[in-house]
Structure 1
Amino acid sequence: MDVAVQAALILFIGVAFLLIIGAPISISVGVASALAMFTLLEMDNGALTSAQRMFTGMNSFTLLAIPFFILAGVIMNNGGIAIRLVNCAKVLSGRLPGSLAHTNVVANMLFGSISGSGVAAAAAVGGTMTPLQEKDGYDKHFSAAVNIASAPAGMLIPPSNTLIVYSLISGGTSISALFMAGYIPGILWGLSCMIVAFLYARKMGYKSEARVTFKQALLVFLDAIPSLLLIVIVIGGIIGGVFTATEGSAIAVVYSLLLSFVYRTIKVKDLPRILLESTKTTSIVIFLIGVSSVMSWVMSFTNIPGIIADLLLGFTDNMIVILLIMNIVLLIVGTFMDPTPAVLIFTPIFLPIALSFGIDPVHFGIIVVFNLSIGTITPPVGPVLFVGTKIANLRIENVIRPLMPFFIATIVVLMFITYIPELSMKLPELFDLVTPK
C-alpha cells in the first residue's frame, strides 16, 4: 500500500477511534496527525516537522485577537453588561406579542455581538431572562428554546472568533470583510427566531409589555450606550482601518474592564479568576489550532483535499448540488464537533472546491460558520444547547421539541445565505473591502 494512503487512513481512522472512546478533539487530532506524520517521515524528522508545524500554526499576530476577545467576553459576562442590554432589548421589542421572548432574542444578538460567544450569550442573557419569562407565565421549555436558538447569532455578528480562525486557515481572507459579511446573516438568524416566537406567542396568547414613555426609553438607551459603544469603537475601528483586528481586541479588553469598574460589578480581587477562566478557554482554542496545522500538513502532503474534490466533482458538477452536499456534511459535523476544530479541518477540504466554482472565500466563510453555528444548538455535543438547558434547569430531551421550529427556521435562512451571495457580500462591497464581481 502506498505510504500516502497509509498516512491518510491512519489520520482519519485514528481521529474517529479516539473520538469514539471519548478523547478530547484536540488530543484526537494531535495524536492521529503525529502517527500519520511518522508514517510519512522517519521518527526524528516526523517529530521535528510536527513541532515546527504546531509552532508555525500558532505563531500569528492575527491569532492574538482570539485570546483578547475571549478575555473581553469573560469580563463582560461578569461585568453587569447583560442586564443593560436586556433592558435596551426590552424597549426595542416590548410591543410585540410574547415580548419577553423577543427581548431574549434581541439581547442575545446584542450581547453575542459584543462578546463573540454564543455560549456566553446563552448563559448571561438566559440567566437574566429565564426567571422573568417564568414569572410572566411563559412555558419554561419554550423560553429555554428561544434562548438557545438565538444565542449563536452572535457568532456571526462581529466580532467573531470563529471567523478569525477561518481567516487564518483560509489563507488570509480579510477579517474586516468577514466581519462585515456576518452582519446580515446574523441579523437574519435573529429575525427568523423572532418570527417563530411571534407565531408561538400569538397561539399561546402571550401579551406584550406595557408601553414605556419616551423619557423611560431614553434613560434605558442612555444606560446601554456605554456597552453598545464597544461595538462602534472596535468594529468601526477595524473596518475604518484605524487599527487591526488584534489591536481592536486589546481595545475591547481595556474598554470592557474600565466599564465594569465604572459599573462596580468587577473588583480587583476578581481579576485572577477572570484571567484563569479566559486562559483555560484560550489554551484549548490555540492548542487546537496548533495540532490542526499538523493535520493540515498531512492532508496537503497526501492530497486528501484533491481526492475529495475529485470525488465530489465526479459525482456532479452542479454548483447548487455541491453546495447542498457541503451544507449537509457541515451540519452533520456540527452535531458532534465544536466550530473551531470543524473550521480548521474542513476549510482546507471544501474551500478549494468552492473557489473552483468562483465562490468568494468571504461568502464561503459565512456559509461554513453559519452551518457550524447551527451545530452548537443540536445534540449530542451542542455547547449552547447544554448551557441553555442548564441555565433553565431542564433536561435536554424536554427542550428538543420546542426547539425544532427554530432549527427549521435557521435552516431556511442558511439556504438563503448559501444561494444568495449578496446577503453576505453586499456590506463588504459597500465598504470597498472586496471587489464586486
Structure 2
Amino acid sequence: MSDIVLTGIVLFAVFFLLIVIGVPISISIGIASFAAALVIMPFWDALMVLSQQFITGIDSFVLLALVFFTLAGSIMNTGGIALRLINLAKLLGGRMSGLLAHTNVIGNTLFGSISGSTIASAATMGRIMGPMQKKEGYDPSYSAAVNIASAPTGLVIPPSGTPILYSLLTGGTSIGALFIAGYLPGFLMAFLVMVMAYIIAKRKKYTVETPVPFSEGLKVVLQAIPALFLIVIVIGGIAAGIFTATEGAAVAVLYSILLSLCYRSLKLKDIPIILKDTVIFSGIILLLIGASSAMSWVLSYSNIPQAISSGLLGVTENGILLVLIMVLLLLVLGTFMDIAPGLLIFTPILFPVATSLGIHPVHFGIIMSLGLAIGTTTPPVGTVLFIGSKVGGVSVEQVIKPLLIFYIPMVMALLAVAFIPEISLWLPRLFGLID
C-alpha cells in the first residue's frame, strides 16, 4: 500500500471516528492530522511541523475581518436591528398568500447577510416570526420549515465570513469579487423558496394581509434604511477599492455601534455579553483554522488532493457529472458539520478538481458556500435543522415532512448556480473585479 493511500486512510478514518464518538471537530482535525503525519515522518518532526503550520495558519491579517464582522453581527443582533429588518420584510412581502412566511424568507435574507450566520439568522427569525405565524393560524411545522429553508440565503450574501475563509484557503481569491458574486445566487434561492412557500400557503388558504397605509410603510422603510446602508458602505467601499475587507469589517463595527446608539437599543450591560460571544466564536474559528492548516499541510505533503483529483477524473471526464458529484458531496458533508469546518477541510481537496475542470475560483467559492449551507438544513445532524425546529417549537420529526418539499427550490438554486457560471460571475465582471 502506497504512502498516499495509507496516509489518506489514517487521516479520514481517525477524523470520522472521532466525530462519531463526539470529539469536538477542531480537536478531531488536529488528532487526525497528527496521526496521518506519523505515517510519513518521525514523531518529533511531525509534532514540530504541524505546530508551525497551526501558528502560520492563524497568523493572517485578513482573519481580523472575520472577527470584526462577527462583532458587527453581534452588535446588530443585540441593537434592535433585526426587528426593523423584519418590519421591512413584511412590507416587501406585499399582500401575497402566506405573507408572514415570505416575511420570514426576506428577513432571513436581510438579517442573515448582516449577521453572516445561518444559525443566528434561523434562531433570531424563528423566535420573532414563530409566535406571529402561530397567532395567524399557520401550521408551526410549516413555519419552521420555511425558516430553516430560507436561513442559508443570507450566508452567500455579503458581508459574511465565508468568502474570507475561502479566499485564505485558495491562495488569495479576491474577497471583493466573492462578496459581489454572492448577491444573485442568494437572491435566486430566496426567490425560489418564496415561490414554494406561496404555492403551499395558497393551498392551505393562509391569510392575505390588509394594505399598509402609505405613511406607515414610509416610516418602516425610513427606519430600515440605516441598517441596509451598512451593506452599501461596506460592500461598496470594498468593491470600489476604498478599503480592504479587513478595514471594511472594522467600519462595519463602528457603523453598527453608532446605529445601535441612534436607535437607543444598545445598553451598557449588553457590551460585555457581546464581546464575550465574539471572543468565544472567534476563538472557535481560529482553532478550527489552525487545525485545518495542519491538515491542509498533511494533505498537500502527501499529494492526497492531487490523487483524489486524478481519481475523480479517472472515473469520468464528463465535467457535468463531476460537478454533480461535488455538489452531492457538499450536501452530504453539510449534514454533519457547519460551513466553516466544511470549507476548511474540503476546499484544499476539491479546489484542484474544480480548477482542472476550468471552473473559476470565484464561481467555485459560491458553489461550495451554497452547497455546504444547504447541507446544514438536512438530516440527520444538520445544525440549522435542529436550531430551526427548536425555536419553532416543533420536533425534528414533525418538521421533516413539510421541509422535504423546500429542498426542491434549494437544490434547484444550487444546480443553477453550479451549471450557469454567469449567475455568480456577472456582477464581479460588471464591477471589473475579475476578467
Corresponding residue number in structure 1 for 2:13: 13
Within a 5 Å distance, the mapping from 1:289-308 to structure 2 comes to: 289-308=289-308
Query: What is the total number of aligned residue pairs between the two structures?
Result: 435
Aligned residue for 1:360?
360
Question: How far 1:258 sits from its partner (Å)?
Answer: 2.0
Deviation at 1:105? 0.7
1:340 alignment partner in structure 2: 340
Match of 2:42 in 1: 42
Partner deviation per Cα, 1:335-393 (whole Å, 9 max, x = no partner): 11211111111111111111112110100111111110101111222222222111112
Aligned to 1:407: 407
1:374 is aligned to 374
In structure 2, what is the equivalent of residue 86 of structure 1? Answer: 86
Q: Taking structure 2 as the reference length, what is the TM-score of the superposition? A: 0.98
Matched residue, 2:118: 118
CA shift for structure 1 position 9: 2.5
Which range moves more in the overlay, 413-422 or 381-390? 381-390
Determine if contact 1:98/1:198 at 8 Å carries over to the other structure: yes
Q: C-alpha displacement at 1:4, in angstroms?
A: 4.5
Q: Distance in 1 between matches of 2:140 and 2:76?
A: 26
Cα shift readout 1:245-277 (whole Å, capped 9, x = no counterpart):
111111111211222222222212221111111
Question: 1:414 deviation in Å?
Answer: 1.0
Quote the Cα distance in structure 1 between the aligned partners of 2:3 and 2:153.
44
Does the CA-based 8 Å contact 1:292-1:345 persist in structure 2? yes
* Cα offsets for 1:202-222 (capped at 9, x unmatched): 101112211112221111101
CA distance in 1, matches of 2:121, 2:368: 21
C-alpha distance in 1 between matches for 2:124 and 2:264: 17
Residue 186 of structure 2: aligned partner: 186
Between the aligned partners of 1:261 and 1:381, the Cα distance in structure 2 is: 39
Q: Contact 1:73 / 1:120 at 8 angstroms: preserved in 2?
A: no
Q: CA deviation at 1:123?
A: 1.5
Could you say which residue in structure 2 is the equivalent of 1:429? 429
Counterpart-to-counterpart distance in 1, 2:238 and 2:425: 17
Segments of structure 1 that go 5 or more residues without pairing to the other structure are: none
2:414 equivalent to 1:395: no
Q: What is the CA-CA distance between 1:38 and the residue it aligns to?
A: 3.1
Give the Cα–Cα distance (whole angstroms) in 1 for the partners of residues 25 and 109 of structure 2: 28
C-alpha contact (below 8 Å) 2:38/2:46 kept by paired residues: yes
> By how many angstroms is 1:163 displaced?
1.7
Other-structure match for 1:205: 205
Matches within 5 A, 1:59-70: 59-70=59-70
Alignment partners' CA distance in 2, 1:170 and 1:208: 47
Query: 1:77 and 1:383 mapped to 2: Cα distance?
Result: 20
For 2:251 and 2:393, the matched residues in 1 are separated by 36
| Aligned residue number for residue 287 of structure 1 | 287
| Distance (whole Å) between structure 2 residues aligned to residue 271 and residue 40 of structure 1 | 48
CA distance in 1, matches of 2:405, 2:224: 31
Other-structure match for 1:219: 219
Partner residue of 1:141?
141
Residue deviations 1:162-203 (CA, integer Å, cap 9, x gap): 121111101110011111111000001100110011001110
Residues 73 and 115 in structure 1, CA contact (< 8 A), matched pair in contact too: yes
Counterpart Cα distance in 2 of 1:380 and 1:34: 29
Q: CA deviation at 1:116?
A: 1.1
- Verify the 8 A CA contact 1:94 1:103 in the aligned structure 2: no
**Farther off after superposition, 252-261 or 139-148:** 252-261
Q: Distance in 2 between matches of 1:422 and 1:8?
A: 35
Matched AA of 2:319: M
Are the aligned partners of 2:331 and 2:371 in contact in 1 as well (CA < 8 Å)? yes
SS in 2 for 1:268: coil
> Shift of residue 37 of structure 1?
2.1
Secondary structure of the residue that 1:32 maps to in structure 2?
Answer: helix
TM-score, structure 1 as length reference: 0.97
The one-letter code of the counterpart of 2:79 is G
Structure 2: gaps spanning 5 or more residues: none
Aligned partner letter, 1:127: R
Cα distance in 1 for partners of 2:127, 2:103 equals 13
Amino acid at match of 1:298: V
Aligned-residue sequence identity (percent) comes to 53
Q: Secondary structure at the match of 1:208?
A: coil
- TM-superposed CA distance for 1:405, in Å, is 1.2
For 1:385 and 1:164, the matched residues in 2 are separated by: 25
Q: For residue 320 of structure 2, what is the aligned residue in structure 1? A: 320
Q: Distance in 1 between matches of 2:77 and 2:119?
A: 10
CA contact (8 A) 2:335 2:383 kept: no
Q: Which moved more, 1:348-357 or 1:285-294?
A: 348-357
1:111-159 superposed Cα distances (whole Å, 9 cap, x missing partner): 0111111111112222111111111111111111111111111111011
User: Equivalent residues in 2 for 1:96-111 (5 A)?
Assistant: 96-111=96-111
Letter in 1 for 2:128: T
What is the alpha-carbon distance in structure 2 between the residues aligned to residue 79 and residue 48 of structure 1? 45
